[in-house]
Every structure is written in structure tokens, then in C-alpha cells.
Amino acid sequence: MKYIVFVALSLLLLISCQSDEAKQQEFAGHYQVTLHLPEAKHEMEKAKEEVEEELKKAKEEIKTEIEKAKKEIESELGEDSHSSNAAGNFVEGMGQLAQGLAGLGEGLGKMGIDIGQGIIDGLKFKAEFKPDGTVYFGKRSKIQIGAGNHWEIRDGKFYLWEEGDEKKEFNMKKLGDGKWDLISSDLIFHLEKI
């Protein structure tokens, strides 16, 4: 009985290894890769909301300070004097300028966030996954990012790592026609075989 269990476990391990090797051979090749960062999109939206909130507070502070400054000028120079009116108009104009600049800052902040998100999420590049477990990224197959990149399929999971670093685990989703999604907790690589 002991031998039957041992032989059964050995056969399962052997079949599993062959299955992973077959998947690795099938997967190897040239791909167009698109990077998706679902969590980053959420973080970018959160950053936009924070920018809006902070600038709303700044605008309110500017408005409060303008009113305070106008009252101080009126109390010093009198409500109906020409000097008081001129200084009040100047302070009000400067306040409107400051609020306009705050609005411009909000627009630029949101635009910067959108540009950052657009650059990262949806980034496209080519990759060559060689059957020996090495991988090259970039338009030319000989470009490497870092000291050396490696990949493997083990126990039905896809692993990607740089020389000396910890392996990053991805779930593999076969989409057909040479298309795959490699999904981790924080990013998705969509691959289309070339």
C-alpha cells in the first residue's frame, strides 16, 4: 500500500512537471504586451479628489482673508473714502487673481494625474519569452531591463523575476488566439502573440 501511494504521488508530480513544461513551450514566443494597473487607477482617482478638496479649502481661505483685509482697510480709512475704495478694490482684485491661480493649479494638478495615469496604464511594449526561461523587453529582442529577466510556469502559475530578486506570481488566463492575461494582485499584463 505504501508503494502504491508513493507511485501515485510520483506520477502526479511527473505529470504536473510535464504539463508545466508543455505550457512553457506553448507560451514561449514574441508578444505585444499592454500593462494595466487597476489599483493605480483607483489611487489616481483618490489623488484627484484630494487635490480638489485641498484647493477648495485654499479658495475658501483666500475668500475669508480678502473679506478680513477689506474690513481692516475700511476701519482704518473709513467706508466711504476714495483711498478705502481703491485699496478695497485692489485687495479684491488680488484675491480674484489668487483664486484664479488656485483654479489653474487644480486644473494642472488633475491634468498631471491624468497624464501620469495615461503613461503608465495602457503602456505597450514588446517582449520575447524564450523557451529557456529568459525574457527580453523592448522593441528589439536584445534589450534587457535590469541584470537579467526570467520567467517560468510552475504549478499552473506564471512567475516573472529579475536576477537576484523575488519571483512575482501571476495567475494565467488563456484568452485564445495566442492571447493571455497574466494577473497579479496589483497589475495585469495583457499579451498578444506576434
Per-residue pLDDT of the chain (194 residues; tens, 9 = 90+): 555 544 444 434 444 444 788 888 889 999 999 888 877 666 677 777 887 788 788 778 877 887 887 777 777 766 666 666 677 677 777 777 766 666 666 666 666 666 666 666 678 889 999 999 999 887 554 554 555 789 999 998 999 998 888 999 999 999 999 999 999 988 899 999 99
What is the pLDDT at residue 80?
66
Any bridge partners for residue 160, and if so which? Answer: 151, 168
What is the pLDDT at residue 15?
42
What is the pLDDT at residue 93?
73
Q: Helices marked H in 78-169 — which ranges? A: 82-120
Q: Could you give the CA distance from residue 168 to residue 185 in angstroms, rounded to a whole number?
A: 10
Q: 164: closest CA among 147, 188, 152? A: 147
Can you read off the three cell numbers belonging to residue 178? Answer: 495566442
